[in-house]
Amino acid sequence: MSEATLPKNLTLDAALSEAEENFAARNVKSGENYNNSTLSMPGGNTRTVIHFSPFPLTFSKAEGATLTDADGNEYTDFMGEYTAALYGHSEPAITAAVEKALHQGIVRGGANDNEAAFSAAICDRFPAIDRVRFCNSGTEANLYALRTACSFTGRSDVIVMKAGYHGGVLYFGGECPLNVPMPFHPVTYNDTEEAVAKIRELGSKLAAVILEPMLGGGGCIPATAEFLQALRAETEKSGALLIFDEVMTSRLAPGGLHGQHNIKPDMVTLGKYVGGGMSFGAFGGREDIMARFDPRIAGHWPHAGTFNNNALTMAAGLAGLTQVYTADRVEAFNAIGDGLRAKMQDAIAGAGVPMCVTGLGSMAVFHFGTGPITTPGDAVAAPEALKAILHLDMIERGFYYARRGMIALCLPTTNEDTTRFASAFGDVLSNRASLIHQAVKG
Ligand SMILES: Cc1ncc(COP(=O)(O)O)c(C=O)c1O
């Protein structure tokens, strides 16, 4: 159905059924692939976050910032693989580095010739990382950082943020039966008083406070400087470690967000784009803490992982950080994202709907309710059906983002792309304005 003929007075359920039927008709091959997948994977899925109804798209090709699905439909990629696809999908410097590494031979069972330079590039770039160790995912990086904090301090308890996400087994947005069994204490993001009180209450039991300096999956909500400074001061007093999860946020400033805030956490975790698009995680920080992993020292802590230094990741990550995502590029890229958020906010105002956009630089989330949003509870909890309709409408217009409303730009994305996105977004919001008003009023 074309935009002009879209009925304006559908109920949420009817509008969703219609949008899903249109989506299924345009995506026959993705639908078939999905149905086949359900025969061997529960729900046809091996990664919860990429599932959406009626079925997720199968992407057969990706180039620059363009995704092509199995049916030949093209999308400008505003999801950016939840920040991991920062380099886009075919950055020549990364492709060349990976091809070279591939031809040198994989799984060599020893050190390779890129890991020293890659670790040095990371230590140079991120002020709080004196020494770093690699692993295979952000989840693993955070698990290592947390266990390091417990072992280093001889303490057990950890303060986390409500709605925080640090990996598949470290999820604090609701009940997560698969979380690792550690004594976690969730506090409200940006609520300095609550966090300081909890740090003091836990006293000598507290091993660490872990948080993202901008809550990423929890809604792209930036931390206030006051909140971060208070956490730094109080953890120092308590003897607990402050861990910044910069798996997503390290892309937002040349020295990561801790560099921008001029705060030195004791440990920092990295993941996603830093591996150049390959499987990657890293944890690092203060030299005296990381020295415990030095295998030359008696009683050192073991840190294993067959693929920790895998040749393809080391090559891709090094090329990305040193040849592509240089400090100048970090600034220019994030300015494009700042522009996008302003354009989206204009689109929202133009459509007259009660919504707002949060984020920093190249990351954004749109929320229901007019804000301000300084903590996850400030957003209006809109029905999933409404999020689904907007998502499917934008897919129909050739734009891909995460259904929950999250956007992460890819480097090849231009200001023209963000203008096109915001214009389509404005059309969708205008078409669906009555549904949005109904849903947000409750
Ligand atoms: C802030 C943050 N930490 C950790 C992770 C986990 O990283 P991975 O998916 O590589 O395990 C994610 C993934 O989305 C994340 O957003």
**Tokens 């991991």, located at residue:** 84
Please name the residues in contact with 422: beta carbons below 8 A apart, sequence gap of 6 or more: 340, 343, 344, 346, 347
Residue type, 240: A
Does residue 219's CB lie within 6 angstroms of at least one atom of ligand 1? no
Does residue 259's CB lie within 6 angstroms of at least one atom of ligand 1? no
Q: Which domains does the chain have, with CATH numbers?
A: 18-86+327-441 (3.90.1150.10), 92-324 (3.40.640.10)
Which pLDDT score, from 0 to 100, does residue 441 have? Answer: 79
Mean pLDDT in runs of 10 for the chain (442 residues)? 50 95 98 98 96 98 98 98 98 98 94 97 98 98 98 98 98 94 98 98 98 97 98 98 98 98 98 98 98 97 97 98 96 98 98 98 97 95 96 98 98 98 98 94 66
Here the tokens at position 9 are 């007075």
Reduced to 3 DSSP states, what percent helix, strand and coil does the chain have, rounded to the nearest 5?
45, 15, 35
Ligand 1 centroid to residue 80 C-alpha, Å: 14
Does residue 142's CB lie within 6 angstroms of at least one atom of ligand 1? yes
Best CA proximity match to 251, nearest among 315, 321, 310, 146: 321
Ligand 1 centroid to residue 273 C-alpha, Å: 11
Three-state DSSP at 268 gives strand
- DSSP H helices, 154-275, are 192-202, 225-238, 256-261
Which pLDDT score, from 0 to 100, does residue 9 have? Answer: 55
The residues that bridge with 367 in the sheet, in sequence order, are 356
Residue closest by Cα to atom 9 of ligand 1: 138
Here the tokens at position 328 are 């100048």
Which pLDDT score, from 0 to 100, does residue 174 have? Answer: 87
Ligand 1 centroid to residue 138 C-alpha, Å: 5
Which pLDDT score, from 0 to 100, does residue 185 have? Answer: 98
